[in-house]
Structure 1
Amino acid sequence: MKFNNTYHQLGDKFYQSAIPAKVSNPTLLLWNDTLAGNLNLEASFCRDKLALAQYFSGNKILTGSEPVALAYSGHQFGQFNPYMGDGRAHLLGEVCDKGNTQRDIQLKGSGQTPFSRRGDGLCAIGPAIREYIMSEAMYALGVPTSRCLAVVSTGETVYRELPKPGAVVTRVAASHIRVGTFQHFAARADVESLKALTEYTINRHYPTIDIKADDYILELIKAVGANQIELVVQWMRVGFIHGVMNTDNCAISGETIDYGPCAMMGVYHPGTVYSSIDKNGRYAFANQPNIAQWNMARFAESLISLIDEDNEKAVELLTPIISQFSEDFNNAYYAMLATKLGVHDLSLIDKAFIKELLDILQNQELDYTSTFVQLTHSLSDVEQAENLKISFGKWYNDWRTLLQDGKIDNNTAQALMQVNNPVVIPRNHHVEAILTECETSGDLSRADRFLQVLRSPYKQLPHTSEFQDLPEDGDVNYRTFCGT
Structure 2
Amino acid sequence: MRIPFDNSFAALPETFYTRVDPTSITAPNLLAWNDNLANELGVEGADKAQVFSGNEIPQGAAPLAQLYAGHQFGNYNQQLGDGRAILLGEVIDNNDLRRDVQLKGSGRTPYSRGGDGRAWLGPVLREYVVSEAMHALGIPTTRALAAVATGEDILRETGMLPGAVLTRVASSHLRVGTFQVFAHRGQIDDLRTLTDYAIARHYPNADGAMGLLKAVCAQQADLVAAWMSVGFIHGVMNTDNCSIAGETIDYGPCAFMDDFHMGRVFSSIDQQGRYAYGNQPNIAVWNMAQLATALIQLAEDKDAAVEEATAIIHAMPAQLEAAWLARFAAKLGIAIPHPDDAELIQRLLDLMQTDGADFTNTFRALGTGAARDQFTDRDAFDTWHSDFTARVADLPDAAALRAKSNPAVIPRNHRIEQMITAATAGDMAPFNRLMTAYADPYTLHDAELATPPTPSEVVPATFCGT
TM-score range, shorter chain: over 0.9
Partner of 2:150: 154
SS of equivalent residue, structure 1 residue 363? helix
Partner of 1:213: none
Partner of 2:220: 228
Q: Aligned partner of 2:455: which letter? A: D
- Partners of 2:458 and 2:123 in 1: CA distance: 21
Matches within 5 A, 1:23-172: 23-42=25-44, 45=45, 48=46, 51-161=47-157, 162-172=159-169
In 2 relative to 1, CA 470–151 (structure 1 residues): closer, same or farther, beyond 3 Å? same
Residue 179 of structure 1 pairs with residue 176 of structure 2:
yes
Partner of 2:15: 13
- Partners of 1:382 and 1:277 in 2: CA distance: 34
- Partners of 1:389 and 1:270 in 2: CA distance: 21
Matches within 5 A, 1:265-414: 265-306=257-298, 308-347=299-338, 349-378=340-369, 390=379, 392-404=381-393, 407-409=394-396, 412-414=397-399
SS of equivalent residue, structure 2 residue 315? helix
Q: Deviations over 1:50-87 (max 9, x none)?
A: x1000000000011101000000000000000111000
For the 8 Å contact 2:7–2:90, the answer to whether it is kept is yes
For the 8 Å contact 1:376–1:418, the answer to whether it is kept is no
Q: Aligned partner of 2:107: which letter? A: G
- Partners of 2:201 and 2:374 in 1: CA distance: 49
How far apart are residue 466 of structure 1 and its match?
2.4
Residue 437 of structure 1 pairs with residue 426 of structure 2:
no
Q: Aligned partner of 2:407: which letter? A: P
Q: Deviations over 1:439-476 (max 9, x none)?
A: 12x11112101110001000121xx2121111112876
For the 8 Å contact 1:89–1:109, the answer to whether it is kept is yes
SS of equivalent residue, structure 1 residue 321? helix
For the 8 Å contact 1:123–1:483, the answer to whether it is kept is yes
Matches within 5 A, 1:460-479: 460-461=444-445, 464-473=446-455, 478-479=460-461
Q: Aligned partner of 2:164: which letter? A: A
- Partners of 2:101 and 2:18 in 1: CA distance: 16
Residue 422 of structure 1 pairs with residue 407 of structure 2:
yes
How far apart are residue 130 of structure 1 and its match?
0.6
- Partners of 1:296 and 1:54 in 2: CA distance: 39
How far apart are residue 22 of structure 1 and its match?
0.6
For the 8 Å contact 1:343–1:349, the answer to whether it is kept is no
For the 8 Å contact 2:103–2:165, the answer to whether it is kept is yes
How far apart are residue 96 of structure 1 and its match?
0.9
Partner of 1:249: 241
For the 8 Å contact 2:129–2:435, the answer to whether it is kept is yes
Query: Runs of 4 or more off by more than 4 Å in structure 1?
Result: 381-391, 474-477
How far apart are residue 327 of structure 1 and its match?
1.2
For the 8 Å contact 1:30–1:152, the answer to whether it is kept is yes
How far apart are residue 349 of structure 1 and its match?
4.7
How far apart are residue 397 of structure 1 and its match?
0.7
- Partners of 2:257 and 2:90 in 1: CA distance: 34
How far apart are residue 89 of structure 1 and its match?
0.4
In 2 relative to 1, CA 478–385 (structure 1 residues): closer, same or farther, beyond 3 Å? closer
How far apart are residue 339 of structure 1 and its match?
0.6
Name the TM-score, length of structure 1 as normaliser.
0.93
- Partners of 1:368 and 1:248 in 2: CA distance: 29
Q: Aligned partner of 1:206: which letter? A: Y
For the 8 Å contact 2:419–2:431, the answer to whether it is kept is yes
Pick which of 130-139 and 351-360 moved more: 351-360
In 2 relative to 1, CA 158–480 (structure 1 residues): closer, same or farther, beyond 3 Å? same
Q: Deviations over 1:127-158 (max 9, x none)?
A: 10011000011000111000010000000011
| Count, aligned residues | 463
Q: Which runs of 5+ in 1 are unaligned?
A: 211-215
- Partners of 1:366 and 1:386 in 2: CA distance: 6
Q: Deviations over 1:84-119 (max 9, x none)?
A: 100000000000110010000000000000111211
Pick which of 341-350 and 294-303 moved more: 341-350
For the 8 Å contact 1:388–1:396, the answer to whether it is kept is no
Partner of 2:432: 448
In 2 relative to 1, CA 351–70 (structure 1 residues): closer, same or farther, beyond 3 Å? same
Partner of 1:208: 205
How far apart are residue 313 of structure 1 and its match?
2.5
In 2 relative to 1, CA 382–272 (structure 1 residues): closer, same or farther, beyond 3 Å? closer
Q: Which runs of 5+ in 2 are unaligned?
A: none
For the 8 Å contact 2:140–2:223, the answer to whether it is kept is yes
For the 8 Å contact 1:349–1:402, the answer to whether it is kept is no
In 2 relative to 1, CA 189–382 (structure 1 residues): closer, same or farther, beyond 3 Å? closer
For the 8 Å contact 2:85–2:102, the answer to whether it is kept is yes
How far apart are residue 311 of structure 1 and its match?
2.5
Q: Deviations over 1:329-369 (max 9, x none)?
A: 11211121111001112127532221111110011110100
User: Percent of aligned pairs with the same residue?
Assistant: 49
In 2 relative to 1, CA 13–284 (structure 1 residues): closer, same or farther, beyond 3 Å? same
- Partners of 1:304 and 1:209 in 2: CA distance: 16
Across the aligned residues of Structure 1 and Structure 2, the Cα RMSD in angstroms comes to 1.8
- Partners of 1:423 and 1:472 in 2: CA distance: 18
- Partners of 2:275 and 2:302 in 1: CA distance: 30
- Partners of 1:376 and 1:433 in 2: CA distance: 32
For the 8 Å contact 1:267–1:474, the answer to whether it is kept is no
How far apart are residue 229 of structure 1 and its match?
0.6
- Partners of 2:456 and 2:254 in 1: CA distance: 17
- Partners of 1:387 and 1:115 in 2: CA distance: 52
For the 8 Å contact 2:414–2:458, the answer to whether it is kept is no
